Amino acid sequence: MSVDDVRDVINVSSAEVPDVKVLKMIKRAEVTLELETGKEIDYNNCTDAEKEFITVLAAIYAICYLTGGSAVGLSFSVGDQNVSVLGKAPPLDVLQGELNRMLGRMREPTVEMA
């Protein structure tokens, strides 16, 4: 997984979102996935599904960064959506839907006690 993978999701360059910022977003996405799944994850050595989840979540964080919004875990607040650099980015609700679909498959099934 690379910083370019994250930027490719939303079609932006390193001028819009610097490597240092993207790396922080990747790490935050990794921690969020760990909390959601209860598994220890290393973004440098993870499954393809985990890599895709981290990449998409980091891309959502980048959208929040570019628009002046905020993101904590799986909660997002987007600022000004008229930011021209995001003209080629997929809609946020599409990314969120994909994120939820992936997370549903990665979570451990829970057994309820009667």
Segments making up each domain of the chain, as ranges: 3-106
Cα separation values, 107 from 7, 29, 73, Å: 26, 15, 15
pLDDT at 64: 87
pLDDT digits (tens, 9 = 90+) for 53-74: 999 999 999 988 888 877 766 6
The DSSP symbol for 111 reads -
Q: Are strands 75-77 and 70-72 parallel, antiparallel or unpaired?
A: antiparallel
pLDDT at 82: 57
Instruction: Please report the DSSP string for 1-45 in residue order.
Output: --HHHHHHHHT--TTTS-HHHHHHHHHHHHHHHHHHHS----TTS
Please indicate, yes or no, whether the overall pTM of this predicted structure exceeds 0.95. Answer: no
- Pick out the chain residues at pLDDT < 70: 72-86, 108-114
Q: Which helix (H) or strand (E) holds 54?
A: helix 48-67
